[in-house]
Each structure stands twice: as C-alpha cells, then as structure tokens.
Amino acid sequence: MKTTEISRLLEKYYKGESSEEEELILRRFFDTGDITGDLEVEKVMFRFYSEHAEVPEPSAELGMRIISAIDSKEKESGFIPVRYRRLVYSGIAAGLLILLGSYFFYINKKGTGDTFSNPEIAYAETVKILYSVSSKLNRGTEPLEIVRKLDDATEMSFSAINRSTGIIENNLKYLDYFQKAINIVASPMNLNVNK
C-alpha cells in the first residue's frame, strides 16, 4: 500500500474520523509491512495495540463499587453538598424574618375603634369605598396588560431554561463521578509506573 494512502488514513485516525475498516487496514499494514522512516512511531503504537487488543470486560458491580468508594471518601472528608448548606441557611433566615416580623407586629399593634355606631351604615360605606378603589385600580392597570403578557412570556422562557439546566446538571453529576473514579483508579497506576 502506498505511503500517501497510509498517511491519509493516519490523519483520519488521529482526527477520530476513521471507520473500523480503515483502522483494520492500518493495523494490518503495520503488522505485516516493513516500515521505516516517518512511520516508525506509528508502527510501534499499532503493534502495541495489536499485542494488547484483548481488554477484559469489567465486572457488573464495578460501577456500583466505584460510586460507593467515592461516596465513602466524601463522607470521610466531611463534604457537605452546597444545596444542603443553602437549604439550612435559607431556613435560618426565614425563621429570623418570621421572628422579627411578629415582634414588630405585636409592638405596633393598636386597638381599632369603631367610627360608625350603626353597622348597616358602616357596611354600606365599606362597599362604596371598595367599589371606588376597585374601579380606579382596574382603570389604572389596563395599560399594564402588555407588561403582564411580557412577564408571562419571560417566566415561561425561564422555566424552559431551568428545565434544561436541570437536565444538564443531572448529566454533569455522572461526569463528576466518572472523573473522580478516573482519579481514584489512576493514582495507584501512577505509583506503579514511576517505580
């Protein structure tokens, strides 16, 4: 096979665009051919791949063992998730706000007095005032209908974004477990390689 064809296949291989058939052609070429010059490095690499082609399948419970090892390391280090801390702090803040609000409510509480001696007149006056306030509020909020529609559209957009970020966050959690697993597995390997 021509060196230019092999170089083209190697370029596709390094970009991750080669097919299985093209990779098989490369393996056969480097296993059987007399290679010299620029392709000597690739020859060593492909021969290594051929010699170590059989990789044992991991056991079924390997994933669970890795996740439990990561969880046990997190528990040993005293790691507290950010969400849990936020929940605790927001609970404390809400409790303090309730206490302060009730303190000011009871301190400033004044007794109400009757302004009308006849309850029927008081009821009629209350209905009249409420109708007046209601009509003025309705007239005043009519121009704000456009703003309400924009606010609804914005809220719907934010909810869609929140859903998608929730999905992404869940998927990134698995990548984080995978990275921690690689670090745990790679650290003993580095010790053996250096010795």
Mean pLDDT of the chain: 80
Mean pLDDT of 131-148: 83
Kindly indicate the confidence band of residue 18, based on its pLDDT and cuts at 50, 70 and 90.
Answer: confident
Kindly indicate the confidence band of residue 93, based on its pLDDT and cuts at 50, 70 and 90.
Answer: very high
Q: How far is CA 68 from CA 20, 72, 76, 78, in A?
A: 36, 6, 12, 15
| pTM of this structure | 0.29
Sign of CA pseudo-dihedral 68, 74, 76, 82: negative
